[in-house]
């Protein structure tokens, strides 16, 4: 059955928000801790726990920075008709940062790379990413590079190379490293391919692998070289582990033990795509497996939700999940999807 482009983008956006909100309370927990606290497998939205230290005062079903910054990125791409440079994106992001300090400074929600960039913007340093030669810990290589990049795929359905180039333009200002651009490119390329009428799990995976390679090439030209944990070999290993696993839960466990599934972009990308592959692209089982994986649960589940929603469309997502994130957060997912589907040549260029 052919699924309309709008419904695929809608599914991707809604799936991203669902994974984000459902995974939010379980950030930093292990799978064992999650099951002990919830009396078994998590299959719906939960309130935050008494010992929450990141998502302070968040409500059940509330989105986090994953979805919020995806919307900021999406709006900037639409404003420029997808022809947006890194310099133009910096200005758009800086405007949002200055006008939403109560949002991004609340709790410990926003990650190290993103927050460092935001502080630069507040201090009037808009080109710091161009001169960054060294940094501490995860700054520049964290998974904030992947979590908000799906709109680059929405902007170029079936044109993954262009999606990768756009991804690099909008990610470079906050994550100026080869590793980050490579990981973000993998997600953008996969989303682009998933939106095509004939997309399959295999074609989405192939696009992700090609995108990671092209993103690494862009990273060598545009960004700081890190010489650490490149996405491509980690993604290939994760897919091999997922191939051997009996289900997405076993796959996530194998990947977590062998690669990791935390802040680093390579870990997050590997876990998300390993779960996607092991779950055979099914939206519900993929999101549930990602949520119950723990670690950076909201980001991993949001990436998986964006992938599966793009592949299968809005109708494949449980209606009560879609309604929850809309009712709690007022996202207007369908409206944003319609705007992307209306971009010039969006349908025509799909091959």
Q: For the chain, what is the mean pLDDT?
A: 94
Angle at 305 between CA 301 and CA 308, to 5 degrees: 135
- For residue 311, give the nearest of 208, 165, 168 by alpha carbon: 208
User: DSSP labels for 290-314?
Assistant: HHHT-SSHHHHHHHHHHHHHHHH-G
Report whether 78 contacts 101 (CB < 8 A).
no
What pLDDT shows up at residue 136?
47
Check whether 130 has a pLDDT greater than 80: no
Say if residue 272's pLDDT is above 80: yes
- Among 6-15, 37-46, 121-130, 213-222, the minimum mean pLDDT is found in 121-130
Residue 126: the pLDDT is: 74
Average pLDDT value for residue range 141-166 = 97
Residue 12 in contact with residue 310, Cβ under 8 Å?
A: yes
Q: Predicted confidence band at 347 (pLDDT cuts at 50, 70, 90)?
A: low
Q: Is the pLDDT of residue 2 over 90?
A: no
Q: Is the pLDDT of residue 25 over 70?
A: yes
Does the pLDDT of residue 351 top 60, yes or no? no
Specify the higher pLDDT residue, 141 or 130: 141
251 touches 277 (CB < 8 A): yes
What is the Cα 280 distance to its own chain's centre? 19
Q: What confidence score (pLDDT) does residue 135 get?
A: 54
Angle (CA) 336 340 342, round 5°: 115
Q: What pLDDT, in 10s, does the model give residues 307-338?
A: 999 999 999 999 999 999 999 999 999 999 99
Confidence band of 304 (pLDDT split at 50, 70, 90): very high
The per-residue pLDDT for 133 is: 59
Label residue 348 by pLDDT band (50, 70, 90): very low
Q: How far apart are CA 46 and CA 144, in angstroms?
A: 23
Instruction: Using the structure block, give the residue that is written with the tokens 């340093």.
Output: 125
Average pLDDT over residues 106-111: 86
- Alpha carbon 182 to chain centroid distance? 13
The residue with greater pLDDT, 121 or 62, is 62
Q: Is 1.10.3720.10 the CATH classification of the domain at 5-38+57-125+136-341? A: no
224: left (phi over 0), alpha (psi -120 to 50) or beta: beta
- The pLDDT confidence band at residue 106, using thresholds 50, 70 and 90, is confident
* Rounded percentage of the chain residues whose pLDDT exceeds 90: 85
For 113-134, letters b (16+ CB in 10 Å) and e give bbbbbbebbeeeebebbeebee
Q: Which residues contact 137 (CB under 8 A, 6 or more apart)?
A: 112
Q: How many other CB atoms sit within 10 Å of the CB of residue 233?
A: 13
| Banded model confidence at residue 91, pLDDT cuts 50, 70, 90 | very high
- What letter does residue 177 receive in the DSSP assignment? B
Q: Where are the domains of the chain?
A: 5-38+57-125+136-341
Please indicate whether residue 1 or residue 220 has the higher confidence score (pLDDT).
220
**Residue 208, exposed/middle/buried by CB under 10 A (0-12, 13-18, 19+)?**
buried
Residue with tokens 């161009």: 130
* Percentage of residues of the chain with pLDDT beyond 70: 95
For position 261, what pLDDT does the model report? 92
With a cut of 60, say whether residue 248 has pLDDT above it.
yes
Contact 324, 61 (CB under 8 A): yes
pLDDT at position 271 over 70: yes
Confidence at residue 350, expressed as pLDDT on a 0 to 100 scale: 38
Tens of pLDDT, residues 192-231: 999 999 999 999 999 999 999 999 999 999 999 998 899 9
């Amino acid at each position: 059955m052919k699924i309309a482009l709008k419904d695929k983008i809608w599914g991707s956006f809604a799936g991203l928000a669902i994974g984000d909100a459902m995974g939010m309370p379980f950030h930093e927990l292990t799978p064992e801790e999650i099951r002990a606290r919830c009396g078994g497998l998590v299959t719906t939205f939960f309130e935050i726990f008494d010992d929450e230290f990141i998502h302070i005062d968040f409500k059940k079903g509330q989105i986090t920075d994953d979805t919020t910054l995806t919307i900021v990125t999406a709006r900037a791409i639409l404003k420029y008709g997808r022809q947006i440079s890194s310099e133009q994106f910096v200005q758009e992001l800086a405007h949002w940062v200055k006008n939403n300090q109560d949002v991004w400074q609340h709790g410990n929600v926003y990650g190290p790379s993103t927050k460092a960039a935001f502080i630069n913007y507040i201090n009037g340093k808009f080109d710091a990413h161009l001169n960054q030669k060294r940094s501490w810990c995860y700054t520049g290589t964290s998974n904030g590079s992947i979590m908000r990049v799906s709109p680059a795929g929405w902007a170029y359905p079936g044109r993954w190379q262009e999606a990768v180039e756009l991804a690099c333009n909008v990610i470079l200002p906050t994550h100026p490293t080869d590793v980050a651009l490579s990981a973000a490119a993998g997600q953008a390329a996969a989303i682009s391919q998933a939106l095509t009428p004939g997309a399959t799990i295999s074609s989405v995976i192939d696009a992700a692998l090609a995108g990671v390679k092209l993103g690494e090439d862009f990273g060598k030209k545009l960004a700081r070289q890190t010489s650490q944990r490149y996405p491509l070999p980690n993604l290939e290993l994760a897919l091999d582990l997922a191939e051997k696993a009996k289900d997405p839960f076993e796959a996530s466990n194998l990947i977590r033990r062998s690669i990791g599934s935390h802040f680093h972009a390579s870990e997050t990308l590997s876990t998300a795509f390993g779960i996607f592959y092991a779950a055979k692209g099914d939206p519900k089982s993929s999101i549930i497996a990602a949520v119950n994986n723990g670690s950076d649960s909201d980001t991993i589940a949001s990436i998986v939700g964006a992938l599966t929603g793009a592949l299968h469309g809005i109708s494949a997502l449980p209606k009560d999940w879609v309604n929850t994130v809309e009712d709690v957060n007022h996202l207007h997912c369908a409206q944003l999807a319609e705007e992307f589907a209306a971009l010039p040549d969006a349908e025509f260029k799909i091959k």
